[in-house]
Chain A
Amino acid sequence: ETGVTQTPRHLVMGMTNKKSLKCEQHLGHNAMYWYKQSAKKPLELMFVYSLEERVENNSVPSRFSPECPNSSHLFLHLHTLQPEDSALYLCASSHDTARGYTFGSGTRLTVV
């Protein structure tokens, strides 16, 4: 365990389903991130939250909706996804004065 926990580890969902990914960190970090890793592509930053406020949204489609209720928890709400959204979704956290990012184990999402 790295200190950043993601659930579920695997998720298969239909295009009409609604599901949520969860990320939790107990490292005392004040920033959290969602990254997407598709096959044969670099990791893409999706969302950044600093002190529970969204500070960056990299033109992500509205079918992905993040939520950060407190500095330890981050969610990614999913609805009406497309098959091309199938990917590994990674959560990370950092502290603005600390030494780098810590990643969770990821959620492998398959949209059918």
Chain B
Amino acid sequence: GIQVEQSPPDLILQEGANSTLRCNFSDSVNNLQWFHQNPWGQLINLFYIPSGTKQNGRLSATTVATERYSLLYISSSQTTDSGVYFCAVRRSYNTDKLIFGTGTRLQVFP
């Protein structure tokens, strides 16, 4: 099956710093999402980005589908950004399953 690898596994930042999270996947995909899981377990959808670039406030994401990777940028990080960031991919628009990476655990300190 398709493999999804995320790096780095852990990231510690001081408030105000910028960071880049990476997601590599092993096969063509039609759906790629970035999620933030907060300390209470809630998975918040950040971006639906099978290709191209999107921005939402301090967050932006870029997916280069032909090279099978996606990047999540966090600028001017805040303590509320702490949590685990997951990349997840799906190969088609039917109910084929969403495959999750192992996540990047981000800790932002004041």
Which A residues are closer than 8 A to B by beta carbons? 2, 31, 33, 37, 42-43, 45, 48, 50, 55-56, 88, 90, 92, 94, 96-97, 99-103, 105-106, 108
Decide if B95 touches A42 in the complex (CB within 8 Å).
no
CB distance from A82 to the nearest CB of B (A): 21
Note all chain B residues with C-beta closer than 8 A to A55: 95
Note all chain A residues with C-beta closer than 8 A to B100: 42-43
Decide if A103 touches B43 in the complex (CB within 8 Å).
yes
Interface of chain A, helix or strand or loop or mixed? strand
Docked Cα-Cα span, A108 to B42, in Å, equals 11
Residue in chain A with minimal CB distance to B100 = A43
Give me 18 A-to-B residue pairs in the complex whose CB atoms sit less than 8 angstroms apart, sorted by A's number.
A2-B44, A2-B45, A37-B41, A42-B102, A42-B103, A45-B97, A45-B98, A56-B97, A90-B41, A90-B43, A96-B95, A100-B33, A100-B45, A100-B48, A102-B45, A106-B42, A106-B43, A108-B41
**Most B CB within 10 A of own CB, among A88, A97, A100:** A100
Which B75-110 residues have C-beta < 8 A from chain A? 86, 88, 93-95, 97-98, 100-103
Note all chain B residues with C-beta closer than 8 A to A100: 31, 33, 45, 48
**Most B CB within 10 A of own CB, among A96, A103, A108:** A103
Docked Cα-Cα span, A102 to B33, in Å, equals 10
